[in-house]
Structure 1
Amino acid sequence: MVEVVMLGASGAVGGAALRALAGMPEVGRVTLLNRREIALPGPNMVQHVVDVGDPGSYRHLLAGHDVAVCALGVGEPSKTPKDVFVRVDRDYPLAFAQACREAGIGHFSLLSAVGVSAGSRFLYVRTKGQLEDGLRALGFARLTLFHPSMILTPENRYGPMQGVFLAIWPWLNPLLAGPLRKYRGIRVEDLGRAMAVEAACGGTGEAVLEWDDFQTLT
């Protein structure tokens, strides 16, 4: 039985991963660290309302878990002040990972993004890349980095621009072939299930997972 602790379960991908974890017999306790209470889809789940920016508020809850899943992130980076985006998408997850490593958790799984690079001149991909480099330095026995492109949600959560992307991306998918396959859109439920399945798989080393890998897992 795998024991999972999760940060970011209230978001679209985190919620999808949570629902998938609830139906997996190989998953035991699931501990959620949330900014607010959410509905729990399974009886094996417990949630704690914490300050996600302060590891001191949740460090005592980490011991005994096998896997940490982080799906924390800003919903609309383009409409968020740069300092807030960097704090939520890099600093908070890295502090969570540090606390997990100190608690003896061997597997860390992160919802990141396709094409990230710490050397990029673009804030979004640079920040995500810096986070991944920071995670590598912590020396987890297993580090899983999920790199989706467009995440296809059933509803438009963020306004007209996302509405356009949600409408056209499924039509673009067949055109994205060869090395462009990693940019195919992925349904949020499929991505969440892939994260849940991978959390129960075990293994060692680093894995960077993209569109084809999500299909294999689901």
Structure 2
Amino acid sequence: MKIAILSGTSGLVGMQLLHQLMKSAQYDFILSVGRRKLALKHNKLIQIDGDLFKLSSWDWEGKVRSESLGGENHDLLDAIKEKKAEIHAFSSIGTTIKVAGSKEKFYAIDHDLVIGFAAWVKKLGASKFLYVSAMGADATSAIFYNKVKGETEEDLKAFQFSYLGLFRPSLLLGNRHEFRFGEQVASIVMKPLVWLKLAKNIRPIYDHQVAKAMVKTALSSHSSSVEILSSGQMQDLSK
């Protein structure tokens, strides 16, 4: 049995990830963990919600049972508890300093929530962890955003998953729920690179391309335990 556990589902890449996972015949269950449920139903999808900062203390089994009063999720619970499932975890948690309200709150979301999710899925038996980072991720960067992404990558390595995929997309294109002026301007300026198929590693990339690349990578075999995937690599994988 293969189980996908996803956090950050309501975001730009998260929604596309969910779509790709639901389409994949190789995943038997998809467990979405978030602060709220989506208005979406699917026979493979189980949604549990709550305060993600308290994820480690959730009664997640009780939450899963409450989503299947007829016992439909019994196989999922047994497979996880008895370590009979291959579990792949996907994290697309992320925000901006403007939306978060401060650097401290941004760090709490983009670092602490990701690391908390990783610790939780590791205890459940996840063998693979796939994380949406950023093109400039660097723990030594003078740019706060890039520094946080880089620190998160480094801290994820400490969990020693059988496979850790660090996906570093360039500017993301897609239908966001919130308006981001800077990204809108950048996408207009850089979109010709997409049309002309130039500068593959720095030109904008669509949300569905990142999602397709992540699912394809999760279902592949790997020669190394930690892999950094560039925007160009993701575009190639999504073809």
Tell me the TM-score normalized by structure 2.
Answer: 0.81
> For 2:40 and 2:86, how far apart are their aligned partners in 1?
19
Is the Cα–Cα contact under 8 Å of residues 31 and 47 in structure 2 kept in the other structure? yes
Of the candidates 217, 227, 231, which is equivalent to residue 198 of structure 1? 217
- Superposed displacement of residue 175, structure 1: 7.9
User: Which ranges of structure 2 fall in alignment gaps of 5 or more residues?
Assistant: 62-76
More displaced 10-residue stretch of structure 1: 101-110 or 191-200: 191-200
Alignment of 1:132 onto 2:160: no
**Map of 1:52 onto structure 2:** 52
Residues 102, 59 of structure 1: alpha-carbon distance in 2 compared, 3 angstrom cutoff: farther
User: Per the alignment, in what secondary structure is the counterpart of residue 196 of structure 1?
Assistant: helix
Secondary structure, in 3 states, of the residue corresponding to 2:146?
helix
**CA–CA distance in 2 between the matches of 1:65 and 1:84?**
33
Corresponding residue SS for 2:131: strand
* 8 Å contact kept, 2:87–2:126: yes
Residue 19 of structure 1 corresponds to which residue in structure 2?
Answer: 19
Pairing of 1:123-162 with structure 2 (within 5 A): 123-154=144-175, 157-162=178-183
SS of match in other structure, 2:53: coil
Equivalent residue in structure 1 for 2:141, among 120, 130, 135: 120
Which residues of structure 1 form unaligned runs of 5+? none
How far off its partner does 1:43 sit?
Answer: 1.5
* TM-score in terms of structure 1 length: 0.89
Counterpart AA for 1:16: Q
What is the CA distance between 1:190 and its match in structure 2?
Answer: 1.5
Flag the structure with larger Rg: 2
What's the RMSD between the two structures over aligned residues? 2.2
- In the TM superposition, residue 199 of structure 1 has moved relative to its aligned partner by 2.3
Higher relative contact order (CA 8 A, sep 6+): 1
Aligned length: 214
Counterpart of 2:65?
none
Give 1:111's aligned residue: 132
What residue in structure 1 maps to residue 106 of structure 2?
85
